[in-house]
Amino acid sequence: MSSLVRTKRDLDMPLLTSKQLTNVSMGLLKAAGASEEEAEIVTRFLVKANLAGVDSHGVLPNLIPYIRGLREGVIKPGARFEITKETLSTALINGNWGFGQLICYKAMQLAIDKARKTGIAAVAVYNCNHVGRMADYTQMAVENDMIGFICVNSDPGVAPYQGRKRVLSTNPLSYGIPAGKEKPIIVDFATSVGAEGKVRAALYEGQQLPPGWIVDSQGRPSTNPADLYDPPLPPEQIKLAGAILPMGGPEKGYKGYGLGLAVEILGGALTGTGCSYQVTPGSTNGVYINVVKIDQFVPLQEFKDRVDWLIRTIKNSPKAEGFSEILIPGEPEFREEEKRSRSGIMIPDMTWKTLVDTCKEYGLDAQKLISS
Amino acid sequence: MSSLVRTKRDLDMPLLTSKQLTNVSMGLLKAAGASEEEAEIVTRFLVKANLAGVDSHGVLPNLIPYIRGLREGVIKPGARFEITKETLSTALINGNWGFGQLICYKAMQLAIDKARKTGIAAVAVYNCNHVGRMADYTQMAVENDMIGFICVNSDPGVAPYQGRKRVLSTNPLSYGIPAGKEKPIIVDFATSVGAEGKVRAALYEGQQLPPGWIVDSQGRPSTNPADLYDPPLPPEQIKLAGAILPMGGPEKGYKGYGLGLAVEILGGALTGTGCSYQVTPGSTNGVYINVVKIDQFVPLQEFKDRVDWLIRTIKNSPKAEGFSEILIPGEPEFREEEKRSRSGIMIPDMTWKTLVDTCKEYGLDAQKLISS
């Protein structure tokens, strides 16, 4: 496509192929100390988020903090993936503060291997940095004809129902479910009204939030994303900041709060990571993974036929007013991935400039990385 | 308490102790063909729901349909609890259409026993009648110092997000999490805006529903609970009835829909029960249970200390406007249980009359059962 031919002017607001974005991310991570394997897995998942249209979990808002993490010793390259407790069906993992993506990738792989033997597996992870997008890991289970579940806690940003101060994390979870001829079902959401990354995106883009998303530091409802962070605070004073509200709104917020609390405890207490203010502020994720081998219960083809039938039944059912189709969880991301694989990934000006500058700091030429 | 002294007039709107309600329920179930064990477990869970204030899952709206189920051969007393597939950590159960509560009680017990050996267990159940309240089963895991998860599907009543026809069931789930000195956390909710039982309760009580709960058979938003059922339809035409909406409302309904879809598949496809319109209409539940042995991951006391700390941190955090305290999931039910254990369980006139009449059909005197 002609829009992918680079000129100097293009670089001001580039449209990159996933290959080009991969080259930049790989190059920068390796220059900053990551191994080939670390750079490859981290980049794969970041670029995949960009392709899927989940830019909040993509290269741009995340790569620079990772580089900073390497520089400050928060992310430890070459960290050992250490199994500290194990049965045939379970494992507890000390991530030793390596890259979250690589730890979580290996943890999911271990869960899949264990589930293959006993039909079900649970793996819990502590001392783990930011793992990124939940859907990437449950898709690994799906590719192995298994049902995958993952959830993580992190430092607090969400108020409990009936409360107004951040005590819980956004506590996201994902289910990955294989289908037959249809695309798999990938459920992936924060148990808060929205992910913190979306509030940050609104802040950067100068947008207001929809009502019901956040309260300010005084507990007053707000649509200004700055109220979640304002006044700018050092991590130890984070209790003073605003809060995101639990999913479900003023009437049904107890559902999002209850589910979030379960995730907080699976990710925080069961892994030994700690819950709420016990979590090391920054990018810590306590990870809980659960994998189910389908044909330990029912024949795989029967299961897939049922899921296909359900997907078609849903999609063929009458639409609500204002909607021309009913989407299956994961479908918007699969579509965007196909689209961006063809059209490229648009990178906002300012964030691209930061990336080019960071490359320079490591003696790298972003333009050269792109065309390599 | 003097209000518990029976007079003929009292019987018009009785206030029963749990013992008295237990006697009526046990007597009626046994007269209708249930074994001692079946009558005991079914009654225990129904009365417990009444005590906990969850009357929709209590004796009154459920016992009469169970008696009818026995009479019509839908519920088969003495049905075999049959393990049809098994590993150290998993089991698939054919309930052979026995009482849902007894099947599910045994399935949870089996999961607990398996988790004791390998750290985690999953049990899936098919050919199972209505199992009642989710929380009862996860509490069994809690009593064994384990984390319990259960979810069930049933016949369709809920529209997908962006849709307007019932395709999914209310797909409830529960997490039970042990605490130390604090009461355990018991999360239990339908992934729809609300449980179908609550719509039915509003219908019987002549109440309107809050906006956003249901659409009528034409897909129009409604606050009239009759619109979920109207026109009265034979089961084979149930597709024509109204629908409950997924939790999350018009903006965030995709979260409730996604979670509900995962439950529909765990309960329906993984168990072989079938999803959506494949489910035998009536009171079928496809059940998926997952139990985690905590000390296979972290020391039990450490876990409990963390949960206690989190509960206190939440309860001590500032309250939202209009709330004087922050409740922990399960806390309202524990409180109501304490209260009703002292004050008794109020039984609505009309339902009590039905119960007295049904007793008569089996040659039983409700008044005698109460005082026995």
Q: For residue B236, give the CATH number of its domain.
A: 3.30.60.50
Residue A37's CATH number: 1.10.1530.10
Same domain for A101 and A68? no
Nearest Cα neighbor of B257 from B134, B148, B174, B167 is B167
Chain A contacts in chain B segment 43-102 (CB below 8 A): 85, 87-90, 92
DSSP B231: S
**Contact call for B272 and A297, based on CB within 8 A:** yes
Same domain for A93 and A206? yes
For residue B18, what are the domain limits? 2-75+344-371
| Closest chain B residue to the Cα of A320, Cα to Cα | B163
User: Within an 8 Å CB–CB cutoff, is residue A360 touching chain B?
Assistant: no
Q: Which residues contact B280 (CB under 8 A, 6 or more apart)?
A: B155, B274
DSSP strands (E only) in A96-209:
120-126, 146-153, 172-177, 185-190
| Closest chain B residue to the Cα of A269, Cα to Cα | B303
The count of domains in chain B is 3
The verdict on residue A255 lying in a domain is: yes
The pLDDT, as a whole number, for residue A291 is: 98
The verdict on residue A334 lying in a domain is: no
Using DSSP's 3-state secondary structure scheme, residue A258 falls into: helix
What's the full length of chain A, in residues?
372
Structure tokens of B149? 């998860």
**Contact call for A278 and B122, based on CB within 8 A:** no
Residue A213's CATH number: 3.30.1370.60
pLDDT band at A9 (very low <50, low <70, confident <90, very high): very low
The verdict on residue A44 lying in a domain is: yes
The C-alpha atoms of residue A100 and residue A285 are separated, in whole angstroms, by: 8
pLDDT band at B8 (very low <50, low <70, confident <90, very high): very low
Same domain for A127 and A185? yes
Distance to chain B for A38, nearest Cα, Å: 26
Same domain for A246 and A101? yes
Q: Is the pLDDT of residue A97 over 80?
A: yes
**Phi, psi angles (nearest 5°) of residue B78:** 75, 10
The C-alpha atoms of residue B230 and residue A68 are separated, in whole angstroms, by: 61
User: Within an 8 Å CB–CB cutoff, is residue A238 touching chain B?
Assistant: no
User: Within an 8 Å CB–CB cutoff, is residue B238 touching chain A?
Assistant: no
Measured between CB atoms, which of A159, A249, A271 is closest to B297?
A271
Peptide bond between residue B77 and the one before it cis (omega within 30 degrees of 0): no
Same domain for B151 and B234? no
Same domain for A134 and A269? yes
Q: Averaged over A176-182, what is the pLDDT?
A: 98
The pLDDT, as a whole number, for residue B197 is: 81
The verdict on residue A243 lying in a domain is: yes
H-helix or E-strand containing B149? strand B146-153
The verdict on residue A55 lying in a domain is: yes
pLDDT in tens, B205-254: 889 999 999 999 888 999 999 899 866 666 556 666 899 999 987 788 99
User: Within an 8 Å CB–CB cutoff, is residue B1 touching chain A?
Assistant: no
The pLDDT, as a whole number, for residue B348 is: 80
pLDDT in tens, A199-232: 887 887 889 999 999 999 888 999 999 899 866 6
pLDDT in tens, B257-283: 999 999 999 999 999 999 999 998 878
The verdict on residue A351 lying in a domain is: yes
Q: Averaged over A81-109, what is the pLDDT?
A: 98
Same domain for B181 and B309? yes
pLDDT in tens, A110-126: 999 999 999 999 999 99
Domain final residue, candidates A258, A280, A296: A296
pLDDT in tens, A130-164: 999 999 999 999 999 999 999 999 999 999 999 99
Distance to chain B for A186, nearest Cα, Å: 8
Whole-structure pTM value: 0.95
Measured between CB atoms, which of A258, A278, A310 is closest to B189?
A258
For chain B, how are helix, strand and coil distributed in percent, rounded to 5? 45, 15, 35
What is the edge-to-edge ordering of all strands in the sheet holding B214-215?
A: B221-222, B214-215, B243-244
Nearest Cα neighbor of B248 from B171, B186, B194 is B194
pLDDT band at B336 (very low <50, low <70, confident <90, very high): very high
The pLDDT, as a whole number, for residue B240 is: 67
Measured between CB atoms, which of A177, A255, A327 is closest to B247?
A255
Chain B contacts in chain A segment 299-338 (CB below 8 A): 302-303, 306-307, 309-310, 313-314, 317-321, 323, 325-329
Chain B contacts in chain A segment 182-221 (CB below 8 A): 185, 187-189, 193, 210, 212, 215, 219
Same domain for A116 and A25? no
Using DSSP's 3-state secondary structure scheme, residue B222 falls into: strand
More confident residue, A279 or A351: A279
Chain A contacts in chain B segment 215-234 (CB below 8 A): 215, 219
Q: At what angle do helices A300-315 and B249-268 cross, to 10 degrees?
A: 150
Using DSSP's 3-state secondary structure scheme, residue A344 falls into: coil
Measured between beta carbons, the chain A residues lying within 8 angstroms of B123 are: none
Instruction: Look up the ipTM and state it.
Output: 0.94
- Per residue in B20-35, is it b (16+ CB within 10 Å) or e — as a string? bbbbbbbbbbbbbbbe
pLDDT in tens, A313-359: 999 999 998 899 999 999 999 999 999 999 999 888 777 888 999 99
Same domain for B265 and B121? yes
Amino acid at site A369: L
Distance to chain A for B361, nearest Cα, Å: 42
| Closest chain A residue to the Cα of B217, Cα to Cα | A318
Same domain for B263 and B337? yes
Check: CB of residue B122 under 8 Å from CB of residue B90.
Answer: yes
**Contact call for A162 and B252, based on CB within 8 A:** no
User: Within an 8 Å CB–CB cutoff, is residue A125 touching chain B?
Assistant: no
Mutate to test the interface with B, among A314, A328, A333 (most CBs of B within 10 A): A314
pLDDT in tens, B122-174: 999 999 999 999 999 999 999 999 999 999 999 999 999 999 999 999 999 99
The verdict on residue A181 lying in a domain is: yes
Q: Is the pLDDT of residue B120 over 60?
A: yes
The C-alpha atoms of residue A330 and residue A335 are separated, in whole angstroms, by: 9
**Contact call for A319 and B163, based on CB within 8 A:** yes
Same domain for B167 and B127? yes
Check: CB of residue A282 under 8 Å from CB of residue A296.
Answer: no
Same domain for B321 and B198? no
Domain final residue, candidates B244, B261, B283: B244
